[in-house]
Amino acid sequence: MPIRTPSLYSQDDPITEALKPPPSETEAQRQIRLQEEAEAKRISEQIDEDLRQEREILKRRRGEVKLLLLGQAESGKSTLQKQFQLMYRPHSLDQERVSWKTVIFFNVVRSIKHILTTLESWEDAMNETQPEAKFGVPGSSSAGMSSPRSASPYRALSPVSSKASTSALRIRLLPLVGMDAALADRLSGGVTVSGSGKGSVFVRTGWQSRTLENAFGRKRQQHIDNGKAPEVVQDPLTQDVNHMLEASSEDIKDLWEHPTVRGLITARRLKLDEWSEFFLRNISRISAIEYIPTTDDILHARIQTMGVAEHIFDVNIHGKTVSWHLYDVGGARGQRHTWVPYFDDANAIIFVAPVSAFDQYLEEDPRTNRIDDSLQLFTQICSNPLLKNVHLVLFLNKTDLLKAKLDNGLRVAKYITSFGNRKNDYETVVQYFRAHFLQVHRRNNENRRVLYTHFTSVVDTKATQRIIGNVRDSIFRGYLQSAALV
Ligand SMILES: Nc1nc2c(ncn2[C@@H]2O[C@H](COP(=O)(O)OP(=O)(O)OP(=O)(O)O)[C@@H](O)[C@H]2O)c(=O)[nH]1
Ligand SMILES: [Mg+2]
């Protein structure tokens, strides 16, 4: 009598009786039946596994917190997201480190391009008019010209400089500046966004791994298949730019320190973004061939977010692990419509408003002051009926840059007339801005919810992580009180 392999069906099962193989079953028929039974068993186990995973997802969903990071472009939302990542998933930032090199090089190349273009148009204008007429206008009275630290803009014209001439520097830096488009293309994967102002690059979630994939295509996959660590694989384009940067490092330093450039900055004829200054100050370190971005470099790197990027962190609090879904949105006006689908089930919002931006205007609409735009946007968020129950946190951000601007003598009243003749010191200014945001909140607060405010500089890791801990505790208290979530 042939030995039967245990069947899928139990011997006591009445169905088993009905499905029993006919006594006349041949060996070949038996083999086919066993194969079919094994396949049915595999499918059944797969269904069980799918159900188990679904139950797991549902269970986690019941215990998850959905946190939106909102605010205008350049307010610091993605930087704050990086701080969450550092705190709750530090290894993932290490894995991305190499991809940030491309962003930082792009930031450097764009900054040099901006300096050279401004220099060129200034020199053109200089050929037509006297230097005194060109400089001096806003800088001499309001931009701290009398400060002992600030060089006179007229010095910029001094022929005594021992530095290379700006035109010689321009010629030598031209090949590097020419890499701008290729770097932009690498980061955006060929996607361009209309109305993106000075030609900024937008990236979607997951760009870090795609940057390398775009560079290598299947070759990278082979590297991985061959067991080579993907972290050591560097984009050849980024490496080319690295070599060019290393060769031009002294020229970049000369350009950055050139009296004409210094003069234009002091006279506020050349306005550089804060990250430009950070990277140009550190150019010797950044252009070294062995350069790997530090965490501080990653926090200063600038790339615009496109749409909404979701980041998931397991947050442990009082022995309970809760899954936090962080939504980092693109803040430019053309991106704001993408936020709405996330309003429905949000538990909390951190609204990020850069208080250093009082002297800046929107890239998307150069007539709108950035503080005004932040206040308008905050009004819309506070009054939105879909958000009336969310936990609301306000970060008055970039306080480090605000301090630096005030120290340099920049006067708030020149840009925000209602500031009047109040004292132009840090404490008065931040309290003035805070009062405006509180007023918006008070006027749009049917549900009498609390607004938690923090003065922040989200590039400062230690201080920001302390504040994140604070925000986490306050959100968690609300979360426990919500009967639906317990
Ligand atoms: N010094 C300083 N720089 C900051 C601060 N917050 C953000 N930044 C810098 O400002 C730039 C813009 O920050 P992001 O976090 O990219 O801005 P965002 O709000 O995500 O902008 P979008 O994605 O365009 O909406 C980056 O270069 C940051 O390093 C801050 O508190 N202090
Ligand atoms: Mg962003």
Cα(159) to centroid of ligand 1, in Å?
38
> What's the rounded mean pLDDT across residues 433-444?
97
pTM for the model stands at 0.79
Cα(301) to centroid of ligand 2, in Å?
11
Q: Which residues contact 339 (CB under 8 A, 6 or more apart)?
A: 68, 70, 308, 329
Cα(307) to centroid of ligand 1, in Å?
16
Q: What is the ipTM of this complex?
A: 1.00
> What's the rounded mean pLDDT across residues 161-178?
85
Average pLDDT of the chain is: 83
- C-alpha 339/C-alpha 70 separation (Å) is 9
> Among 179, 202, 208, 185, which residue's Cα sits nearest to residue 98?
208
Does residue 339 have its Cβ closer than 6 Å to ligand 1?
no
How do beta strands 391-397 and 348-354 pair? parallel
How do beta strands 308-317 and 64-70 pair? unpaired
pLDDT tens, residue by residue, 288-313: 999 999 999 999 999 999 999 999 99
> What's the rounded mean pLDDT across residues 264-272?
91
pLDDT tens, residue by residue, 202-253: 777 667 766 656 665 544 444 445 555 444 567 899 999 999 999 999 999 9
Q: Which residue has the tokens 């986490």?
A: 472
Angle, to 10 degrees, between the axis of helix 207-216 and the axis of helix 236-257?
110
- Residue 359: the pLDDT is 95
Q: Which residues contact 256 (CB under 8 A, 6 or more apart)?
A: 115, 280, 281, 283
The two tokens of residue 394 are: 């306000």
The residues placing their C-beta within 5 Å of ligand 2, an ion, are 77-78, 305
Does residue 278 have its Cβ closer than 6 Å to ligand 1?
no
Does residue 464 have its Cβ closer than 6 Å to ligand 1?
no
Rounded percentage of the chain residues whose pLDDT exceeds 70: 77
Q: Which residues contact 292 (CB under 8 A, 6 or more apart)?
A: 97, 98, 101
- Residue 214: the pLDDT is 61
> What's the rounded mean pLDDT across residues 478-486?
55
Using most ligand atoms within 8 A of CB, pick from 68, 70, 72, 78 the residue to mutate for ligand 1: 78
Does 357 or 161 have the greater pLDDT score?
357
* Ligand nearest the Cα atom of residue 303: 1
Q: Which atom of ligand 1 is nearest to the CA of 275?
A: 27
pLDDT tens, residue by residue, 27-71: 998 899 899 889 888 888 888 878 767 765 665 556 788 999 999
Does residue 71 have its Cβ closer than 6 Å to ligand 1?
yes
